[in-house]
Every structure is written in structure tokens, then in C-alpha cells.
């Protein structure tokens, strides 16, 4: 293995590795725009230049495409390197509008960061900047601000190398180059398209659903797991920081909503990507919630409903349970601990593929649209979610069951978070908390377990599932 020196540190790096990779492995930072660990190396932005000592002088070249060699002495921050980066930034910003004040990327834009780090000067150009359209729809999900694009081609390469939709390209050339979607409209069908929004090092690619919604420094990410399919991609759910809570009385919806979803890099599950369904979790998890407990469709007190459910379960001779594949491992274990073998429990699918949704592909998307089927089956086994004809009580946990499958005459105890017509058809209905209101773990189809954390308090009318099961299982009249 070649030995080299980077910024005075002796490093050993595998032959063929680039200086960029070797430096990163050693924890030495080199700036980059066009380079990305999961994409090919085009070497077009030139911000990653480093200096290599040579006969008392130094030559300068890009680190992302420079293989390491024996005895190489590299400087990532010499006078010459800093000057070259400064010059490069002058070119990159030649036609850039510098409209950070109205740019969603401000605060997490590498062009901003590098400008403060390496340039800090106003433009030296006396020529007028080129102007371009600022809201070009690449698809219904993505708008492009042509003026902010620095032509790094990360987005284009993503569609060629990762999502393989070949949906984006670079049109025209030189200072009138523009990123454009292919004319046959197929970019709109790329189920991974929104990853280009994170990939874009500047604020050129934007999500209409987040556009001008919030400055990123008012938001905080909570680590979570996408429940959209059995892949269980790890994600960051971004929501308002408590200290920046909006204080007007009607602001609860804004303070306690998911403003955007980004991938939480995880080599064991999803790498740095997620699919568009994961981006839309605000919609999936923001559906209307069940308003309160009910007894045969009539509003009831939560405690009263719990007591009623408990006595129904205690009285049943052949009680059956359909447990939720959206329950966390903790909730599933609590269910098992509470009821033991008393209930004939089977795992049901809460969600099936929606019309128009990609059912399965070779990248991330799995056909099972539930996050914790594996975790649930590990506890309750693999029996199909059939309901025996002689069941006299069915406890249904989670949405998605066709109530026509429940034998006539059997009592129904229903635990569900959402406002749905079935709720009123149960003998006892109890609203429960959802993923963002508790922490827990899901186990994905490959057996990898990932954690999610709580973002918001649960609504007062909903019961916390994990503690609910214990109170449902107590013998009537017994214990507190």
C-alpha cells in the first residue's frame, strides 16, 4: 500500500484510491461540489484542488480524481490551494444570483459555506449576469432555479447511475447550459427523483411541498424509520424546533407537523437514498385522526372504553387477535407480555400497495407496504391472518382489515389511530398513538432493526399502545 503525507500526516492508502478518499478515510476534509461517494467522478467543479509538493514547488490538481502514489506529499490548505479555490469560486458565482435571502438551501448550502471559508469577496466581474427562469418544473415534484445551478451534474448522474430513469440531462453548453428533464416526461415517473434535491449542493433543485415553508435553522431532525414498506429506510423527520415554536393560538398544526423528510444515511438499509413515498410521510402520517373512544359507534370516555374492552376480552371463550405490522417491536412485545397465549394472535398487513404505486423494484422498494412484518412475525409466527369461524371476539390492532371477514356475532375490539368508517362498527373502539408520538424499533425484511424517536406529544384522546395492552389484559376487577 502506498504511503503518503497529507497535511503533515503519514497515511497508508490502498493503491488506486484517490487523494479525496484517502483524506476522508483519515478524517481530513477536502471541499467538493460535483464529487459524491455514490456517484461517478466527473471532476468538473474544481473546488477540491490540493497541492502536491514537487521539486521545492507545488503543483495543483483535483483531489477527487488524483490517485495516491508512494511518497506523495499533499497539502489541502496551502496558500496556493486557497488562492485557487478562491478563483474557482469567482467563476462558479459568475452567473450565480446570490439570492440566499430567499433560497430554501440557505443554511445547508455548500456554496455558501465555501464562500465564507475560501472566498468572502464580492464578484470581480463587471459583466452583467446571465438571467434564467427561476421556477422551471422538472416534474410535478421538483422545481429548478436555473440561475442557482452550478452545473455539477450530480442530479443528472443520479438519474443515470442510481435511479436509472435517465430522466435528466444537461442541455445547451457553456454559460447557457441548463439541466432539463427528458422530453418524453419520464422523469415524473422516477420514484427516487426527490433524492436530487438533497444531492444538489446549492439551492437549484427544490421541492414545491417545502418551497418557502421554513428556514432550515428553525427546524430540527428527528431520527425515524419510514413505515412505507418493509425496507424500513432510516429517515430524518424535520419539524419545528421547540424553541422556535410559533406562538399564535392556532399554530399547533405548524408546530407539530413534519415539514420535510430526508434520508438518514444507513449503509445497512438504504444507503444515502429514500424513495418518494418516504418524502411524502407528512401526508401518510398526517391523515385525520380518530376523534375519541366509542362504544358501538357512540362517543365514550377512554377509561370506560378500556374497561369495557377488558371485560369483553375476559369473557370471551375463543378470542382472536389480529396484530398490527405497524406496531413497534416494543409494542408487539408488550402485547405478547400482556396476553400471553390467551389470544390466538396473527399478524395482519395494515397496508397493501396503492394503485399507481411502484410495488417492488431492485433498488429499495419492497412489495410488503408495512414496516414491521418481520418484527411481528418473529413474535407471533407466520400463520395467515385468517379468522376462525368460531371466534367469539376479535381484537383488531391497526387499520386495513375488511370487517366483513369478522364472523357475525363475534365482538369486535378495535384499536386504530385513524378516522375511518370501521371505527364505528366495533363494539369497543380505542384511538391509539402513531409512530411520531412514541419511540421504538422496527425490524425490516432483512432482519435489520432500526430505531425511531418521538417527535410530538400524542393527542389527549389517544391511548399509548404500549401501556394500553397491559390494562386491557387485567382480569376484570383485578389490579389497578
Partner 1 sequence: MRHLVPEFEKLKERYPAGFEASLVLPCLRRIQEDRGFVAEEDIVGLVDYLGVPRIQVEEVLSYYTMLRRKPIGRFHLQACRNIACSMRGAEGVVGYLRKRLGIGPGETTPDGRFTLSVVECLGSCGTAPVVMVNEAYHEDMSLEKLDRLVDELAAAGEGK
- Residue 206's alpha-carbon distances to 139, 269, 282, 384, in angstroms, are 11, 26, 17, 44
Q: Provide the minimum distance between the beta carbon of 260 and ligand SF4 in the complex, in angstroms, as a whole number.
A: 14
Distance (Å, whole) CA 123 – CA 4: 37
168 counts as binding partner 1 under rule CB under 8 A: yes
Q: Which does 231 bind (CB under 5 to 8 A by kind): partner 1, ligand FES, ligand SF4, none?
A: ligand SF4
Choosing among ligand FES, partner 1, ligand SF4, none, which partner's interface includes residue 378 (Cβ < 5 to 8 Å by kind)?
none
| Residue 82 interacting with partner 1 (CB under 8 A) | no
The answer to whether 141 touches 193, Cβ cutoff 8 Å, is: yes
Question: From the CB of residue 187, how many other CB atoms can be counted at a distance below 10 Å?
Answer: 23
Question: In angstroms, what CA-CA distances link 442 with 225, 236, 372, 454?
Answer: 8, 15, 5, 14
48 part of the interface to ligand FES, by CB under 6 A: yes
45 near ligand SF4 (CB under 6 A): no
151 interacts with, out of ligand SF4, partner 1, ligand FES, none, CB within 5 to 8 A per kind: ligand SF4
What residues between 353 and 372 interact with ligand SF4 by CB under 6 A? 364-365
Which of residues 174 and 408 has its CB atom nearest to partner 1 in the complex?
A: 174
* Smallest separation (angstroms) from ligand FES to the CB of 110: 10
Interaction of residue 204 with ligand SF4, rule CB under 6 A: yes
Helix (H) or strand (E) holding 88: helix 79-92
Looking at 205, 345, 401, 417, which residue binds ligand SF4 (CB under 6 A)?
205
Contact status, residue 118 vs residue 86, Cβ threshold 8 Å: yes
Instruction: Check binding of 157 to partner 1 (CB under 8 A).
Output: no
Q: What distances in angstroms separate CA 409 from CA 416, 427, 429, one per listed residue?
A: 21, 11, 17
Question: How many residues touch partner 1 (CB under 8 A)?
Answer: 13
Q: Phi then psi for 424, rounded to 5 degrees?
A: -75, -10
Pick from 167, 228, 400, 431: which binds ligand SF4 (CB under 6 A)? 228
What are the residues facing 354 on neighbouring strands?
Answer: none
- Position among 82, 129, 134, 160 found at the interface with partner 1 (CB under 8 A): 160
Q: Which residues make Cβ contacts (< 8 Å) with residue 452, sequence separation at least 6?
A: 223, 224, 225, 328, 435, 439, 440, 441, 442
With CB under 6 A as the contact rule, the residue among 6, 22, 23, 46 that binds ligand FES is 46
Q: DSSP for 333-363, please give it.
A: HHHHHHHTTSSEEEEE-S--PPTTS----SS
Rounded distance between C-alpha atoms, residue 386 and residue 322, angstroms: 9
The option from ligand FES, ligand SF4, partner 1, none interacting with 182 (CB < 5 to 8 A, set by class) reads: partner 1
Q: Is residue 42 a contact point for partner 1 (CB under 8 A)?
A: no
Rounded to a whole number of angstroms, the minimum distance from the CB of residue 187 to partner 1 is: 9
**CA distances (Å), 28 to each of 306, 379, 428, in order?**
58, 46, 60
CA 393 – CA 320 distance, rounded (Å): 6
Residue ranges binding ligand SF4 (CB under 6 A): 149-155, 179, 199-202, 204-205, 226, 228-229, 231-233, 270, 274-275, 277-278, 364-365
Residue ranges binding partner 1 (CB under 8 A): 160, 166-173, 180, 182-184
Residue ranges binding ligand FES (CB under 6 A): 32-35, 43-48, 62, 64
Amino acid at each position: 500500500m502506498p504511503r503518503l503525507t497529507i497535511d503533515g500526516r503519514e497515511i497508508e492508502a490502498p493503491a488506486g484510491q484517490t487523494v479525496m478518499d484517502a483524506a476522508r478515510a483519515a478524517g481530513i476534509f477536502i471541499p467538493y461540489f460535483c464529487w459524491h461517494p455514490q456517484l461517478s467522478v466527473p471532476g468538473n467543479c474544481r473546488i477540491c484542488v490540493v497541492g502536491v509538493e514537487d521539486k521545492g514547488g507545488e503543483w495543483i490538481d483535483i483531489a477527487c480524481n488524483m490517485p495516491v502514489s508512494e511518497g506523495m506529499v499533499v497539502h489541502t490548505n496551502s496558500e496556493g490551494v486557497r488562492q485557487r479555490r478562491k478563483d474557482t469560486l469567482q467563476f462558479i458565482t459568475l452567473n450565480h444570483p446570490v439570492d440566499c435571502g430567499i433560497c430554501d438551501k440557505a443554511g445547508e448550502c455548500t456554496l455558501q459555506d465555501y464562500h465564507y471559508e475560501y472566498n468572502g469577496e464580492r464578484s470581480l466581474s463587471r459583466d452583467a449576469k446571465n438571467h434564467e427562469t427561476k421556477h422551471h418544473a422538472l416534474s410535478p415534484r421538483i422545481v429548478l432555479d436555473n440561475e442557482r445551478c452550478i452545473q455539477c451534474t450530480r442530479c443528472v448522474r443520479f438519474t443515470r447511475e442510481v435511479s436509472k430513469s435517465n430522466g435528466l440531462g444537461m442541455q445547451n453548453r457553456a454559460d447557457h447550459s441548463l439541466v432539463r428533464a427528458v422530453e418524453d416526461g419520464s422523469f415524473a415517473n422516477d420514484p427516487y427523483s426527490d433524492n436530487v434535491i438533497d444531492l444538489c449542493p446549492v439551492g437549484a433543485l427544490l421541492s414545491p411541498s417545502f418551497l418557502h415553508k421554513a428556514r432550515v435553522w428553525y427546524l430540527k431532525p428527528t431520527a425515524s424509520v419510514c413505515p412505507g414498506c418493509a425496507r424500513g429506510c432510516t429517515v430524518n423527520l424535520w419539524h419545528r424546533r421547540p424553541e422556535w415554536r410559533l406562538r399564535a393560538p392556532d399554530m399547533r398544526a405548524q408546530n407539530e407537523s413534519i415539514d420535510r423528510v430526508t434520508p438518514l444515511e444507513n449503509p445497512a438499509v438504504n444507503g444515502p437514498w429514500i424513495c418518494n413515498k418516504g418524502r411524502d410521510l407528512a401526508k401518510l402520517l398526517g391523515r385525520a385522526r380518530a376523534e375519541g373512544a366509542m362504544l358501538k359507534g357512540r362517543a365514550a370516555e377512554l377509561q370506560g372504553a378500556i374497561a369495557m374492552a377488558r371485560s369483553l376480552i375476559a369473557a370471551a371463550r375463543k378470542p382472536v387477535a389480529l396484530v398490527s405490522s405497524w406496531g413497534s417491536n416494543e409494542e408487539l412485545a408488550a402485547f405478547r407480555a400482556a396476553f400471553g397465549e390467551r389470544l390466538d394472535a396473527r399478524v395482519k398487513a395494515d397496508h397493501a400497495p396503492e394503485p399507481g404505486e411502484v410495488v417492488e423494484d431492485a433498488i429499495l422498494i419492497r412489495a410488503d407496504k408495512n414496516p414491521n412484518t418481520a418484527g411481528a412475525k418473529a413474535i407471533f409466527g407466520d400463520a395467515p391472518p385468517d379468522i376462525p369461524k368460531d371466534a367469539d371476539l376479535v381484537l383488531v390492532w391497526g387499520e386495513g382489515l375488511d370487517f366483513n371477514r369478522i364472523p357475525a356475532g363475534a365482538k369486535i375490539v378495535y384499536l386504530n389511530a385513524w378516522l375511518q368508517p370501521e371505527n364505528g362498527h366495533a363494539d369497543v373502539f380505542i384511538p391509539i398513538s402513531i409512530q411520531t408520538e412514541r419511540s421504538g424499533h422496527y425490524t425490516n425484511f432483512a432482519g435489520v432493526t432500526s430505531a425511531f424517536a418521538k417527535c410530538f406529544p400524542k393527542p389527549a384522546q389517544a391511548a399509548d399502545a404500549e401501556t394500553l395492552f397491559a390494562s386491557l389484559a387485567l382480569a376484570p376487577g383485578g389490579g389497578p
